[in-house]
Structure formats: C-alpha cells, structure tokens
Amino acid sequence: MTVGAGRRKDGRLIAVLALLVAILFVVSLGVGPVWLSPGRVAGALFGDGGEAARIIVMDIRLPRALLAVMIGGTLGLAGAALQGLLRNPLASPSLFGAPSAAAFGAVSVISLGLVDVLSIALPVAAIVGALVSVGLLLLVAGPRASLLVLILAGLAVSSLAGAGTALALNLAPNPFAALEIAFWLLGSLEDRSMRHVLIALPF
C-alpha cells in the first residue's frame, strides 16, 4: 500500500468515526428513562419542545453528552500524541505519571473541602498536580535522559502519586468525603451541568 492510499484510508476511517460520534451524540439526547423523539429533542434544543423536554435535554442530557465528547477527545489526543512521540501504539499518559499526579491533586482539594468553596479548585488542582509530576520527571530523569529512564522515572512518580492518593483517602475527615473521593476516582458524568462544561472548556 502506498503512502497516499494509506492516508486516504485513514481519512475515510476518521470521517466514519466522526459521523458515528455525531450520531451517538444526537441519539444520547433522546435515550434515557424518559425517551424523547428526534422532533422533541430538536424542539427542546431550539426552544419549542415544551418545558419538560427542555429541562431533560438542556439541563441533564446535553451537558453530559458534551462532557463525554470533550473528555473522550482529549484523552484520545493525549494518547495519540504520546504514541507518536514514543513510536509505540501501546503508550499512554500513565507511563509518565501525569494522570496519577492529577488525581492526587484533585483528591487533595476534595479531602480539604475546597471544592465546596470554589468549584474551579478541582480542575486547577488536577492540572497543578500533572505539571508537578512533569517537573519531577524532568528533575529525576534529567533533560537528556533516554526513553527507558523516562519511563522508569514516570513509573516512580506514578507510584508516589498513587501512594499520596491512598493516604488522602485513608485520612478523609469523614465517610462522606471518602465516598466522594472514591466516586470521583471511578469517574462519572452524573449530576453534570453546563457550569461543568464551561469549567472544563478552557482545559
């Protein structure tokens, strides 16, 4: 297969996958405990579908669908970037410890109760944790480290952050905080609103 043919094949695959994502996005707005027809979904989106349909679509399902696409796309881009950088189709951001450190930063602010005071504290703490992990990685491995040394340093940073997360979970001030941390680590789109979409959008 020539390079041009391979690129055309990849382009067709990307187009098909993008179309599939768009279809599933639209379907997700109508599927749930209360099923809505495509007409009612369109009416709710454009302000002509009734108050109940508007609340279901605009306040509940649309934020979840948007966040799912945004988060999935971001994770895919991060994975593709590292796979291209390392020339390994199995590479992922977890190799360098950034996800574990981001989780530790987020869990720390949840444990301290800062999320109740300032909702943006959660994503900011996660980003700071990830940046700190990259700094530690460069500090431990050095600026001219080989790929193997980078991966080993990343595993060390990941283990350290994982231990910090476990410690924060064990030292949670009350059972409710521990449950909140555990549910956050599992990941969920439950109880998301457009406010969460706006918070996630810059990142």
Give the 3-state secondary structure percentages of the chain, helix then strand then coil, rounded to 5: 80, 0, 20
Q: What is the pLDDT of residues 88-100, one digit of tens each?
A: 887 888 888 889 9
Q: What is the pLDDT of residues 11-55, one digit of tens each?
A: 888 899 999 999 999 999 999 888 888 888 888 888 777 888 889
CA distances from 27 to 24, 65, 113 (A): 5, 10, 37
Cα 165 to chain centroid distance, Å, stands at 18
Domain ranges of the chain: 1-89, 92-203
What local confidence, expressed as pLDDT, does residue 176 receive? 82
Q: Which two tokens stand for residue 132?
A: 């700190």
Distance CA 140, CA 154 (A): 9
State which residues of the chain have pLDDT below 70: 1-6
